[in-house]
Structure 1
Amino acid sequence: MTPSACPQLCGGLSPSSSSLFPLQTRSGSHFCGGSLINENWVVTAAHCEFNPYSHIVVLGEYDRSSNAESVQVKTVSRAITNPSWNPYTLNNDITLLKLSSPAQLGPRVAPVCLPPTNLALPTNLQCVTTGWGRTNTNSQALAVRLQQVTLPLIALNQCKQYWGNQITSSMLCAGGVGASSCQGDSGGPLVYQNGNVWTLIGIVSWGNSNCNVRTPAIYTRVSQFRNWIDYVVSQA
């Protein structure tokens, strides 16, 4: 299945349960999120620094404290970071993970749709981001159950009022209205619903160090990388 197989084969389920999965150390510590784009590939943030030798992907998890969930623990055969990734500016913050064996798709595990190249998105579009990141700015503790929040897209020129020239065309801004992505959410999705299809438009990248809910957070603009994603998936 290719990432472009839409909408029949992707994006039809709730964003909170089907395509976002935790990236963990082999000892079970959560550090980032990732989104399934087909049965063999997960997309995440480059700054998560996924290491196939020491990290795993857990498919189908909702409650990290539960041992009763039917999860698929997957190792990764290859982690391919975009060649233009810049760890100093956080530009082009995207990595593809090839699962060592295909995901078993079902009600709890389904791919999200990818956007077309350079998809134009309206300001104030209501989007959803999900993750197991910090929920309290006074605590380093990560969420036990998957959290979900709706955020508006912010125009880049408005975003630059907060962040200046750090903002590039490879980024999206969202939030600033009382909720925010936070540490531990990195690599996870920013999606929007079009009809009954959920499309991945952003990857949690960076933001205010204390997760200020009045400051928009920054997401990797997935449509900028659609051609690169298709190329990597087709070659491997």
Structure 2
Amino acid sequence: MLLLSLTLCLVLLGSSWGCGVPAIKPLLSSSQRIVNGESAVPGSWPWQVSLQEKSGFHFCGGSLISQSWVVTAAHCNVSPGRHVVVLGEYDRSSSAESLQVLSISKAITHPFWNPNTLNNDLTLLKLASPAQYTKRISPVCVASSNEALPAGLKCVTTGWGRLSGVGNTTPTRLQQVALPLVTVNQCRQYWGSRITDSMICAGGAGASSCQGDSGGPLVCQKGNTWVLVGVVSWGTSNCNVRQPAIYTRVSKFSNWINQVVASN
């Protein structure tokens, strides 16, 4: 992975765990796809969250950013009474994994979230009880407001979303894909004025995130540290791997995230 010059911004109180450094290292080959699937190394994306109905149905992803907070997409419509945060999951068909299933005390959506344009697609979830960090559960670093993301930088998105734009086949194991970043101007060639400065585009090079990945992470690497730069937001209805998908640009919201966490 190319190195990324970012100032990291995350305060982890009362914890010796740093952010963005998996205890189990990810293994990235040259041909991963979430569409057409490549399984991740178990536990190698320890901030990956599965948002589930209480029945166990997975509907969105998310990212653990501290012991008490998860970042996801506003369009996931998380309801604290109906939904739970599941940490430490890899194989959704396994009953042998050491999971933490945590209730949500608050879902705080960005005040300028627009469901018509999908702009400002971000929600913060406060956990009713703190997550306990383990080898397979730890937080990702949050991109700062002054991040620099060069076009073509390869970053990684993960999730349990659909494996293709046809049918509803979803994987049991967590999938990963390396995606090149795309500039706003390049992205507007596909999507026009729908692309705002609060969005980041990635992909269009033969791989894509898809439905069910929503709310999950787009991370880039700085040295040995992974930084959350995007949240899976929207794309083509058929998960076209030749068009870039759109992610909420986390750096535009880092100050808001810090304010919400500090005041709650």
Hey, what does 2:222 align to over in structure 1? Answer: 194
1:3 is matched with which residue: 5, 10, 14? 10
- Aligned residue in 2 for 1:180: 208
Partner of 2:162: 134
TM-superposed CA distance for 1:118, in Å, is 3.5
Distance 1:173 1:197 in 2: 21
Q: Is the 8 A contact 2:49 2:86 kept in 1?
A: yes
| Aligned residue type for 1:93 | D
Q: 2:232 aligned to 189, 192, 204, which one?
A: 204
2:17 and 2:138 in contact (8 A); partners too: no
Which of 92, 105, 113 matches 2:120? 92
Percent identity between matched residues is 63
* Offset from partner CA, 1:74-123 (integer Å, 9 cap, x none): 01000000001000000000000000000000110000001111412100
Stretches of 4+ aligned residues off by more than 2 angstroms: 2-8, 14-17
Give me the CA root mean square deviation.
1.5
Matches within 5 A, 1:34-53: 34-53=62-81
1:211-231 deviation digits (Å, cap 9, x = unpaired): 000000000000000000000
Secondary structure of residue in 2 paired with 1:56: strand
Distance in 1 between residues matched to 2:51 and 2:167, nearest whole Å: 21
Q: Please state whether the residue corresponding to 2:142 is helix, strand or coil.
A: coil
Deviations 1:124-147 (A, max 9, x none): 011000000000222212221000
**Partner SS state of residue 141, structure 2:** coil
Give the Cα–Cα distance (whole angstroms) in 2 for the partners of residues 223 and 19 of structure 1.
18
Say if 2:85 and 2:104, in contact at 8 Å, map to a contact too.
yes
Task: Normalising by structure 1, report the TM-score.
Answer: 0.96
Cα offset, 1:5, TM superposition: 4.7
Is the 1:4–1:113 contact (alpha carbons within 8 Å) kept by the matching residues of 2? no
Report if aligned partners of 2:20, 2:227 keep a CA contact under 8 Å in 1: yes
**Residues 1:165 and 2:179 are matched in the alignment:** no
Residue of structure 2 aligned with 1:17, choices 32, 42, 45:
45
Q: Does 1:69 align with 2:97?
A: yes
Unaligned runs of 5+ in 1: none
CA distance in 2, matches of 1:212, 1:4: 38
Q: Which moved more, 1:115-124 or 1:13-22?
A: 13-22
Contact 2:110 2:121 in 1 (8 A): yes
| 2:176 paired residue number | 148
Corresponding pairs, count: 235
What is the TM-score when the length of structure 2 is the normalising length?
0.86
In the TM superposition, what whole-angstrom CA distance separates every residue of 1:8-67 from its partner, at most 9, and x where no partner exists? 610001464300110000001010000000000000000000001110010100000000
2:153 and 2:17 map into 1 onto residues whose CA distance is 23
Deviation digits for residues 174-216 of structure 1 (CA, Å, limit 9, x no counterpart): 0000000000000000001110000000000000000000000
**Equivalent residue for 2:133?**
105
Any stretches of 5+ residues in structure 2 without a counterpart? Answer: 1-8, 27-43
